[in-house]
Structure 1
Amino acid sequence: MFAKPFEKPIRVWVGLGFPRQLNTVADAYQFVIDWCGNSPEQRAAIRACRAALAGDVDAETAKGVFVAFARKKDILIEDGAVPPTVLESAHPKHA
């Protein structure tokens, strides 16, 4: 039941720019409940993953809500993305 795979995995940044691949609804659910915070996007992702795990919605619906959460938190790895720490060191901010 927990192994509801996504058609295409979700990749997110964790730690100091390390990629993590989420292959199933259970992976996404564990990630989002472990995330510090309590934003509306996080709560929506938790609800969507729970609904998918219960069989109330399909995995791709939950994935869409999770992707919106990850994009809002700027941790979603889009095609050709560079880790945030690399971007910051390449373009230092001036005081």
Structure 2
Amino acid sequence: MDDRGKGWRKRSRCLGGGSRDACTIFRKAIRVWVGLGFPRQLNTVVDAFQFAMEWCGNSPEQRAAIRACKAALAGDVDAETARGVFAAFVRKKDILVEDGEMPPETAGFRSAHA
């Protein structure tokens, strides 16, 4: 059997059947600010890949995030490696939601109803 067949089997273990989730779901979701300060939760490599592909721009961090997600989907790296690269991308763009953080435009705003 040639190397191509071996590579396909490697990927199919990660992407096929019930084991797919174990290979593509992040241990801890990444949350990013979108739209008018709404958080969006990204739970999987596919979510992160789609977000990075739809992001307007072409920065080195964005390209690295896309490459890392593609590698994770191919089974070449694990989901947590892709998560780390993706997190660096969204942190650089200042859209990473840190635990307990409020949207940037509402930070410091006090509701009259509180």
User: If the length of structure 1 is used for normalisation, what is the TM-score?
Assistant: 0.88
After superposition, the CA RMSD in angstroms is 1.3
Q: Deviations over 1:36-76 (max 9, x none)?
A: 00000000000000000000000000000000000000000
Q: Figure out how many residues of one structure are paired with residues of the other and give that number.
A: 89
**Equivalent position of 1:75 in the other structure:** 95
Structure 2 residue 58 is the aligned partner of structure 1 residue 38: yes
Find the partner of 2:36 among 3, 16, 36: 16
Residue 21 of structure 1: how far off its partner (Å): 0.3
**Equivalent position of 2:112 in the other structure:** none
* C-alpha distance in 2 between matches for 1:43 and 1:70: 12
Q: Where does structure 1 differ by over 3 angstroms across 4 or more consecutive aligned residues?
A: none
For residues 51-90 of structure 1, what are the structure 2 equivalents within 5 Å? 51-87=71-107, 90=109
Identity %: 73
Unaligned stretches of 5+ residues in structure 1: 91-95
Residue 80 of structure 1: how far off its partner (Å): 1.4
Residue 82 of structure 1: how far off its partner (Å): 1.1
